[in-house]
């Protein structure tokens, strides 16, 4: 809650997502909770190869899951969470603490760690699927950016940074991103989702919303501040993307020269969406 007296503002440029030194079995417990505490239950859930093995420097684990036997919407949900999981693992490997001598850390890609998490031989064939789910997550958020463009294209919408020149520059850059996303010809087609009876579709959408809210609460249990920051930010970014995809009619009917009524994004949601897509 942005209005909470306990809220903290964090400069994301000064706190990049990378190796943190966060160790212990708690990371796997977090992911077990994220996957298992939802009512979208996969047919089978593969336990960690070694539940006592320490995580190696971030909100990561070596848990294995399967979501066969689920309807399209529930498969999409699990693929998105798997993609989020893969994203966090990938950035840990890409920006790893390789050496620290005399207080001068050296950061860079750790190929060995990447292989351990994504190579088919090391992951019982699951690694390539995890990477495919990461690309699926990318397509979902890319689609959301293309869908939300009309919301920001209205003259009444400003991005308040505290500086008039930067406000205009920020909006221009954002509109450039939207134009690029519109030029992409292979967007995910969300029309096949929630296409059943209206009552059932509404109920399933509400389940999606509650699940993401629950995942954000689970992220609060992460013991590492930076891991928790990026975990919550990417979760909220994904939740914002789904909010956009489920609000197409409301976005299309927005008034041009007056404040939004049927659809609104908070500053926090905008920041989370753009940064999650960047990840």
Mark the binding-site residues for FAD, compressed into ranges: 18, 20, 31, 82, 85, 117
> 224 an active-site residue?
yes
Binding residues: 18, 20, 31, 82, 85, 117
Which residue, among 179, 146, 175, has the nearest Cα to 245 in the 3D structure? 146
- Catalytic entry in 28, 63, 93, 224: 224
Query: How crowded is residue 6: how many other Cβ atoms within 10 Å of its Cβ?
Result: 5
Q: How far is CA 267 from CA 84, 96, 237, in A?
A: 22, 31, 12
Q: Measuring CA to CA, how many Å separate 235 from each of 22, 151, 182, 211, 216?
A: 19, 22, 24, 11, 7
Active-site residue among 28, 63, 93, 227? 227
- Is 227 one of the catalytic residues? yes
Cα–Cα distance for residue pair 190/193, rounded to 1 Å:
5
Compute the distance between CA of residue 229 and CA of residue 191 in angstroms, rounded to an integer: 32
What are the residue numbers of the active site? 224, 227
């Amino acid at each position: 809650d942005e209005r909470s007296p306990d809220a903290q503002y964090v400069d994301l440029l000064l706190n990049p997502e990378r190796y943190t030194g966060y160790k212990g079995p708690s990371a796997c417990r977090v992911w077990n909770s994220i996957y298992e505490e939802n009512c979208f239950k996969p047919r089978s859930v593969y336990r960690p190869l070694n539940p006592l093995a320490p995580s190696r420097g971030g909100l990561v684990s070596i848990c294995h899951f399967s979501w066969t036997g689920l309807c399209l919407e529930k498969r999409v949900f699990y693929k998105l969470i798997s993609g989020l999981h893969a994203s966090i693992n990938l950035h840990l490997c890409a920006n790893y603490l390789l050496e620290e001598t005399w207080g001068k850390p050296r950061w860079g890609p750790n190929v060995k760690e990447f292989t351990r998490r994504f190579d088919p031989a090391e992951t019982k064939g699951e690694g390539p699927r995890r990477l495919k789910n990461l690309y699926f997550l990318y397509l979902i958020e890319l689609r959301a950016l293309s869908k939300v463009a009309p919301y920001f294209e209205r003259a009444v919408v400003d991005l308040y940074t505290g500086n008039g020149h930067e406000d205009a520059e920020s909006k221009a850059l954002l509109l450039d991103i939207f134009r690029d996303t519109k030029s992409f010809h292979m967007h995910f087609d969300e029309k096949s989702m929630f296409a059943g009876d209206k009552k059932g579709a509404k109920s399933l959408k509400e389940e999606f919303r509650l699940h993401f809210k629950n995942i954000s609460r689970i992220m609060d249990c992460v013991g590492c501040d930076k891991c928790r920051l990026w975990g919550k930010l990417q979760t909220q970014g994904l939740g914002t993307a789904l909010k956009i995809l489920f609000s197409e009619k409301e976005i299309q009917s927005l008034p041009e020269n007056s404040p939004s009524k049927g659809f609104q994004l908070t500053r926090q949601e905008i920041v989370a969406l753009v940064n999650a897509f960047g990840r």
